[in-house]
Structure 1
Amino acid sequence: MSQNNNTKFYIASSFRYSKLINDLSDILENLSFVRTYDWTVNEKADSIEKLHEIANEELQGVEQADFLVFIFPSGKGANIEFGIATALKKRIYILDIENEIENFDLTSTFYFLDNVKIFKGSLDDFTNFIIDCETK
């Protein structure tokens, strides 16, 4: 998996982690990775039409990505994006920021699939982990 200028990523998470998401994205983009969709710029949807528009943009973002980053824990939308990436056999990197992914009340069996790599630690170390995995 040699990383080049065409390696694309999507970050699935919760709005509460927007700063972390954008910091991670900035680091990856500075290394020539391409973010497929930035949903953190969206305002809260106020209509079914807006939900429809956002859903299609997010779906396209996941479909176009070579890999998905999942910040755990996250909400229902991020878990659906995780499911889409799983169905599409994407590489998935999970950042377990609260060290709770092995808590049986919070986790999912799908977080432990072969295409999923779980990381516990700092954002900088997580970024290095992704880069190491993507440039092998």
Structure 2
Amino acid sequence: MNKFYVASSFRNMDAVMYVSKQLVHQGYMYTYDWTKNVKAREGNTLLLEDLKVIGQHEKNAVKESDFIVVILPGGKGTHIELGIALGLGNKIFLYSSDRAIDHVETTSTFYHLPEVEKCYGTLDELVDKIITQLPINHEV
């Protein structure tokens, strides 16, 4: 269980890049780095065909992952990616820096399913939780 995907929004790019870098450094395999989609981020040269290609890459990455990390608040695709992972029965680490996921008016029913591990605190604490719960087997 060492392949992962990070779902979030472009406004959380620094957090996504930090978490993914830390996990890769520990030996986990990142299935797709959507933060490199400069055209989508800039928004002015993006075509519908580009969205189709990006969407296919993201869907495949979630399907190939053993677990996903969701960093809230998410973008438009974040909850679709969460849904794909839930449908596949994958482990999900749901990170909320402000604990909004614990308030009825700002939460989702899906955040409270058994396969969703709610995470709070710092990004380092999130990474530590993942490493503790899903350790890499370094045996050859």
TM-score greater than 0.5 by the shorter chain: yes
CA distance in structure 1 between the partners assigned to 2:90 and 2:80 by the alignment: 14
Gaps of 5+ in 2: none
Partner of residue 113, structure 1:
113
The runs of 5 or more residues in structure 1 that have no matched partner are none
Runs of 4+ residues over 4 Å off in structure 1:
none
> By how many angstroms is 1:52 displaced?
0.4
SS at match of 1:117: strand
Which residue of 2 is the match for residue 37 of structure 1? 32
- Correspondence for 1:93: 93
For residues 120 and 88 of structure 1, the distance between their equivalents in structure 2, rounded to whole angstroms, comes to 24
User: Which residue of structure 2 aligns with residue 18 of structure 1?
Assistant: 13
Q: Structure 2: how far apart are the matches of 1:54 and 1:121?
A: 31
Amino acid paired to 2:103 = N
TM-score normalised per structure 2: 0.89
Root mean square deviation of aligned Cα: 1.3
Residue 105 of structure 1: CA displacement?
Answer: 2.3
Q: Judge which range, 90-99 or 53-62, deviates more.
A: 90-99
Structure 2 letter corresponding to 1:93:
F
The percentage of aligned residue pairs carrying the same residue is: 37
| Cα distance per residue 1:19-73 (max 9 Å; x no partner) | 1111111110011100000000102251110010000000010000000000122
Give the structure-1-normalised TM-score.
0.92
